[in-house]
Structure 1
């Protein structure tokens, strides 16, 4: 089997990639949570990625062949976006993208919807704990959500043995 087909390449995304990033989010979100209201056009979502996320976040994409299949936007101890196309979920792509963020931040917070059981299980497997649940009044979808938190554990140092000195 060709490794290029099984191992995604992680690349830093630029303004030229924002349409693809926004599309990954739309497809992943509405295939998994079809009841959510579709509040923005694809063009509005691309503008959000280009004008808000790109200047304020590190944005990485997971490419397989010549196609982006996953995306993460993170910075300032927050994951703003993390999506993998449904046909590519369960292949370690989300874990790879999340690992990139964990390498750069000692603690991370993120929001996900309470009804997104797949995302909740994913974050819990990666050491995140639920910190707060809301009724959704503060998000534009008005969907109950949950705040997750992860903190890097301190490195263990070997116990020092007292000297006989």
Structure 2
């Protein structure tokens, strides 16, 4: 990835549908065995009416196209999704650096237990698993893991 082609900026209302579409494609590619709790239209509405206007939402643009998104909500890293063609190319690393810069006092996140790639990614970036659940508290009813950074002392 040529850094001259990459723009990381706060999302604008006009980005919401493209962000939702990247989220949908990424979720399907990374988590094929996980039942989504909401259909495509509900996800698009969630981005349009909740995520972009109410959360600290960042977008990665490469040559004007949405390549990924990062959503922070307080101390939670709520969403980090990349277009499938952008996985493994350093964009996630850039988003983690941005999240840590924005929240130097720490971050928490949840990922599904079936998502081994996400677990390896977050652990490589210093996140530590502190809780595993049976999934009964999330909408997908999928076992998950809570990670924190920095590691608790």
State the TM-score, normalizing by the size of structure 2: 0.91
Query: Residue in 2 aligned with 1:161?
Result: none
Query: Residue in 2 aligned with 1:70?
Result: 68
Alignment of 1:16-165 (within 5 A): 16-105=14-103, 106-151=105-150
Q: Rg: which structure is higher?
A: 1
Any stretches of 5+ residues in structure 2 without a counterpart? none
Any stretches of 5+ residues in structure 1 without a counterpart? 154-165
Aligned-residue Cα RMSD (Å) equals 1.9
The one of 7, 10, 18 aligned to 2:8: 10
Deviation readout 1:25-56 (Å, 9 max, x if unpaired): 11111111111113322221121122222233
Q: 1:15 to 1:100 in 2, by over 3 A?
A: same
Q: CA offset at residue 3 of structure 1?
A: 5.5
Deviation readout 1:105-133 (Å, 9 max, x if unpaired): 11000000011001000000000000100
Deviation readout 1:129-161 (Å, 9 max, x if unpaired): 0010000001111110000000289xxxxxxxx
Shifted more, 55-64 versus 109-118: the winner is: 55-64
